[in-house]
Amino acid sequence: MVDTASFKGRDIISMRDFSREEIDFILDRATDMIPLVEKGSDLLRGKILAALFFEPSTRTRLSFESAMCRLGGSVIGFAEPKVSSVVKGETLSDTIKVVESYSDVIAMRHPSEDAARIAADVASIPIINGGSGPWEHPTQALLDLHAIRTTKGNIDGLTIALVGDLLYGRTVHSLAIALRNYDVKVYFVSPKQLKMRDDVIKDVAGRLDYVETEDLRKVLPDLDILYATRVQKERFSDPADYDKVKDAYLIDSTFLKGVKRDLKVMHPLPRITEISTDVDDTAHALYFRQVKHGVFLRMALLALVLGAL
Amino acid sequence: MVDTASFKGRDIISMRDFSREEIDFILDRATDMIPLVEKGSDLLRGKILAALFFEPSTRTRLSFESAMCRLGGSVIGFAEPKVSSVVKGETLSDTIKVVESYSDVIAMRHPSEDAARIAADVASIPIINGGSGPWEHPTQALLDLHAIRTTKGNIDGLTIALVGDLLYGRTVHSLAIALRNYDVKVYFVSPKQLKMRDDVIKDVAGRLDYVETEDLRKVLPDLDILYATRVQKERFSDPADYDKVKDAYLIDSTFLKGVKRDLKVMHPLPRITEISTDVDDTAHALYFRQVKHGVFLRMALLALVLGAL
Amino acid sequence: MVDTASFKGRDIISMRDFSREEIDFILDRATDMIPLVEKGSDLLRGKILAALFFEPSTRTRLSFESAMCRLGGSVIGFAEPKVSSVVKGETLSDTIKVVESYSDVIAMRHPSEDAARIAADVASIPIINGGSGPWEHPTQALLDLHAIRTTKGNIDGLTIALVGDLLYGRTVHSLAIALRNYDVKVYFVSPKQLKMRDDVIKDVAGRLDYVETEDLRKVLPDLDILYATRVQKERFSDPADYDKVKDAYLIDSTFLKGVKRDLKVMHPLPRITEISTDVDDTAHALYFRQVKHGVFLRMALLALVLGAL
């Protein structure tokens, strides 16, 4: 049985570590948090979140900080490694062993794939992975699920396209892994060079009804959720390849003609050119509302791992 | 009639947007805040200020943060754009639409003149302009008025010189606009190359009794308030021009011989060489005490726009 | 008599300023703080710490922030001078005179030796020196004493080696000065080029039983405390000299064969290669637990100088 005891002291490193029951339980707790944003709460009063961002981030860092403040807790940390002891050559393990003396929970982003796992191994307090290189970004996947469930009423039964850079996009890795727990149809839509990473394919195989394709236009009429991500120019050796891709996945209001009426377009943000601003005011745009779910979800996670629920 | 309802949810973008009654109301509320600094307050408990500094700042940022903390609120944000998603190419509008999901009010500084207005247009929460390029710095003008009123008892009837870079100095732009609501005599004292910016002249014309001059020494004996600002070397194509100006407006205790006994010297700070340190311990120096008024004033503004008064 | 009144409003600049009675009193208060970390406290509710780090730091800054948050207070400040008005050419005195209007106590780190003293001279609120160039780091010395006393039960009677860069290491300067108040035997162990700085020698002479040596191995069997510090390559004109030193003071589990059973190894951290990770899990390693004492100690100092005890 999943209950709050399942989460107290627990690390949140990878979507691979969570069952459907656990995910649903977390999403339920996130929904419980919604009224607290307005009302305020002292649930985590006296608790300290250390936000360690070895890679810059606006939204994930501020989202964690907002979640902690909404529950009455405090935040310490750094927004870039340059101001930290990392520049003096300290190992990640040592940094974590030090920072755990200052805080009750650590949320971290790091360019290295295994950083969050390493941190969890040495820390005696919970570690929450706020993005580990191209590997995973589990709290983003959970907030995405919460946004989908809140908007659609249900995750089961949906047809979902994950679009863009599926090779390096940590967000879509975590989301794909999470979705294997649900009865959904998923399209992995990407240019050939940026197909879904092998270990994710391996981990969803047999558990997720998925199709890999390059052709977004073709699958578009089927979709309930179009989850767009940024394709970075630097990923292509030939700039011409990039331009082709960029245009193929550019979502604007013209492109969205003929889609299901309640198709929702999502994006982990920041978006650059993937979604035209002329989509912003349509009923399809979920990407800005999606952001709010990050606060609800992280409030729930912080409260759960700190044993406050 | 002006009351607290006039301010709930309101953006603070330009002094052009405020009537005398509104300004006086804000200054009264700032005075109400003074005892709370010592006593502490929970007026904004559970509320979050996002301080977004796209340009570095010590005093404005820390002043806002101090004001929020003094009222029991929390602060999130960034002190420089480099750690934010701006480096990934996100538009200001998108950043604001994201950050408003994390916070209840945004204070921002930005190098672009229209940034604060753009932010206010897209945001559903109040935006406070903490400096928008060379255009305006309304909270500085309000704190300056509060410092003047507290020290002098009244703003009406004073003779005030705004000195230095009147072309690029956002502080003096906002202050000049604000002063048009009062019965004051104002000297705009600047080198020819840095005369008061045209749109300010246009907006005060007919409403403010002002004189433009290069000669500070000549108007000095008349002054109740000498408001000095920094003249930056980079503004001059000929370094010799800069040196001339720098010396003409260098305020030291010798220069202040023969001024009114209760002349107060103000400065938005940081000062570099404009005011000699030998003025610091004279009764003329208001510039360090001026800083405290920033906290009172911003406490009042935060409480007002958040509907907490 | 030493009591809380001895500390209210006081600056913490140098270990030279404190008597044994005062140090013991501070250490006692740090011990009082231990249960508050778990329980939480509102002792400094409504109070603001300004953390001004003109030099980057992870542990000292986060330790001060954690201490302030644990007591219910708030923190403002900057983690590097680049985001501050320092880049505009403001003097330290001016920065302090401004920031004291925003806060109740200032903790600062600065590359200059006399910065903390200068700040204390101009400030009307307490200044706590969080590291002043190579000169002193008094809060580190106090936390080190607290870690030693807590672990050993007593400071008197111990044999202690301060090892590494004794010329530029501010930590060992403060610690040596502090130890002159106790009945201890101290070895100053360093390469010839990095012998204990003259003014420290002068200040401990006649009050501290010390021996200067290059040979750590020889004194090792006598030690109760081995306090290691980092030796920076940049200090040596000849890289070969550095390599020799680095190897001579490299502490690993083999090196520790034959030491006293309850020898404790300490380090102000970050460590780079001075202590091998194979020491981490031995009973000798005190360096990670040492970190926690920084929070207790700084809680006590903040509460004391703010008159809250």
> Residue B2 pLDDT more than 90?
yes
Most B CBs within 10 Å, among C96, C102, C108, C306, to test the B interface: C102
Q: Is A59 a catalytic residue?
A: yes
Q: Is C59 a catalytic residue?
A: yes
- Mean pLDDT computed over B234-246: 81
pLDDT of residue C86: 61
> Residue C246 pLDDT more than 90?
no
Most A CBs within 10 Å, among B68, B101, B106, B121, to test the A interface: B101
pLDDT of residue C252: 96
> Residue B84 pLDDT more than 80?
no
Give this complex's ipTM.
0.95
- How far the first Cα of chain B sits from its last, in Å, is 16
pLDDT of residue A85: 59
Q: Which of A6-20, B77-91, C225-239 has the lowest mean pLDDT?
A: B77-91
Catalytic residue among C10, C70, C137, C298: C137
Looking at the complex, report in whole angstroms how far the Cα of residue C72 sits from the nearest Cα belonging to chain A. 7
Type of residue at C236: F
Q: What residue of C is the nearest CA neighbor of A81?
A: C58
Looking at the complex, report in whole angstroms how far the Cα of residue A196 sits from the nearest Cα belonging to chain C. 37
What are the pLDDT digits (tens) for A185-242? 999 999 999 999 999 999 999 999 999 999 999 999 999 999 999 988 877 888 888 8
- What confidence tier does C85 reach under pLDDT thresholds 50, 70, 90? low
Strand partners, C251: C275
Tell me the residues of C at the A interface, defined by beta carbons under 8 Å apart: 39-41, 53, 56-59, 62-63, 65-66, 69-70, 72, 75, 79-80, 269-272, 277, 288, 291-292, 294-295
Question: How many CB contacts within 8 angstroms connect chain A with chain C?
Answer: 76
Using CA atoms, how far residue A176 sits from A140, A144, A251, B199, C138, in Å, is: 12, 11, 21, 55, 52
Question: How many CB contacts within 8 angstroms connect chain B with chain C?
Answer: 77
Q: Which residue has the tokens 């979050």?
A: B48
- Mean pLDDT computed over C166-194: 97
d(CA B76, CA A69) in angstroms, rounded, equals 9
Catalytic residue among A10, A29, A47, A60: A60
List the structure tokens of C70.
């644990």
Residues of C in contact with B49 (CB under 8 A): none
Q: Is C60 a catalytic residue?
A: yes
> Residue C217 pLDDT more than 90?
yes
Type of residue at C117: R
pLDDT of residue B234: 78
Q: What percent of chain B has pLDDT over 70?
A: 98
List chains adjacent to chain A, taking adjacency as at least 3 C-beta pairs closer than 8 Å. B, C
> Residue C83 pLDDT more than 60?
no
Q: What percent of chain A has pLDDT over 70?
A: 98
Contacts 24+ apart (CB under 8 A), C233-237: C235/C165, C235/C167, C235/C168, C235/C193, C235/C194, C236/C193
pLDDT of residue C275: 97
What are the pLDDT digits (tens) for A90-144? 899 999 999 999 999 999 999 999 999 999 999 999 999 999 999 999 999 999 9
Nearest CA among B272, B185, B271, B171 for reference residue B224: B185
What are the pLDDT digits (tens) for B90-111? 899 999 999 999 999 999 999 9
- What confidence tier does A179 reach under pLDDT thresholds 50, 70, 90? very high
CB atoms B46 and A59 under 8 Å: no
Q: Which of B42-56, C223-237, C292-306 has the lowest mean pLDDT?
A: C223-237
- Mean pLDDT computed over C147-170: 97
Looking at the complex, report in whole angstroms how far the Cα of residue B91 sits from the nearest Cα belonging to chain A. 8
Q: Do the beta carbons of residue A282 and residue A259 sit within 8 Å?
A: no
CB atoms A288 and B74 under 8 Å: no
CB atoms C48 and B69 under 8 Å: yes
List the structure tokens of B267.
């400065």
CB atoms A39 and B45 under 8 Å: no
State the burial class of residue C260 (Cβ atoms within 10 Å of its Cβ: 0-12, 13-18, 19+): middle
Looking at the complex, report in whole angstroms how far the Cα of residue C140 sits from the nearest Cα belonging to chain B. 27
Positions of B marked active-site: 59-60, 88, 109, 137
Strands across the sheet containing A225-228 = A209-213, A185-189, A159-163, A225-228, A264-266
> Residue C58 pLDDT more than 60?
yes
- What confidence tier does A84 reach under pLDDT thresholds 50, 70, 90? low
Q: What residue of B is the nearest CA neighbor of C80?
A: B79
CB atoms C99 and B72 under 8 Å: no
What are the pLDDT digits (tens) for A10-48? 999 999 999 999 999 999 999 999 999 999 999 999 999
List chains adjacent to chain B, taking adjacency as at least 3 C-beta pairs closer than 8 Å. A, C
Question: What is the model's pTM?
Answer: 0.96
- What confidence tier does C241 reach under pLDDT thresholds 50, 70, 90? confident
What are the pLDDT digits (tens) for B143-161? 999 999 999 999 999 999 9
> Residue B83 pLDDT more than 80?
no
Give domain limits for chain C.
4-136+294-305, 138-290
pLDDT of residue C198: 97
pLDDT of residue C13: 98
> Residue B71 pLDDT more than 60?
yes
pLDDT of residue B93: 96
pLDDT of residue C235: 78
> Residue A260 pLDDT more than 60?
yes
pLDDT of residue C239: 85
d(CA C253, CA C279) in angstroms, rounded, equals 5
Tell me the residues of A at the B interface, defined by beta carbons under 8 Å apart: 39-41, 53, 56-59, 62-63, 65-66, 69-70, 72, 75, 79-80, 269-272, 277, 288, 291-292, 294-295
Most B CBs within 10 Å, among A39, A69, A71, to test the B interface: A69
Is pLDDT larger for residue A240 or for residue B53? B53
- Give CATH for domain A4-136+294-305: 3.40.50.1370
pLDDT of residue B232: 82
CB atoms B56 and C82 under 8 Å: yes
Three-point CA angle C2, C3, C8, nearest 5°: 110
Closest Cβ–Cβ partner in C47, C50, C85 for B270: C85
Type of residue at C105: V
d(CA C282, CA C257) in angstroms, rounded, equals 12
Is pLDDT larger for residue B273 or for residue A158? A158
- Mean pLDDT computed over A273-287: 96
pLDDT of residue A86: 61
Secondary structure of chain C as H, E, C letters: CCCHHHCCCCCECCHHHCCHHHHHHHHHHHHHHHHHHHHCCCCCCCCEEEEEECCCCCHHHHHHHHHHHHCCCEEEEECCHHHCHHHHCCCHHHHHHHHCCCCCEEEEEECCCCHHHHHHHHCCCCEEEEEECCCECHHHHHHHHHHHHHHHCCCCCCEEEEECCCCCCHHHHHHHHHHCCCCCEEEEECCHHHCCCHHHHHHHCCCCEEEEECCHHHHHHHCCEEEECCCCHHHCCCHHHHHHHHHHCCECCCCCCCCCCCCEEECCCCCCCCECHHHCCCCCECHHHHHHHHHHHHHHHHHHHCCCC
Residues of A in contact with B95 (CB under 8 A): 58, 270
Mean pLDDT taken over chain C: 95
pLDDT of residue A264: 98
Class of domain A138-290 (CATH, top level): alpha beta
- What confidence tier does A83 reach under pLDDT thresholds 50, 70, 90? low
CB atoms C101 and B41 under 8 Å: no
Say if A4-136+294-305 and A138-290 have the same CATH topology. Answer: yes
> Residue C247 pLDDT more than 90?
no
CB atoms B76 and A66 under 8 Å: yes
pLDDT of residue C129: 98
What are the pLDDT digits (tens) for B190-210? 999 999 999 999 999 999 999
Mean pLDDT taken over chain A: 95
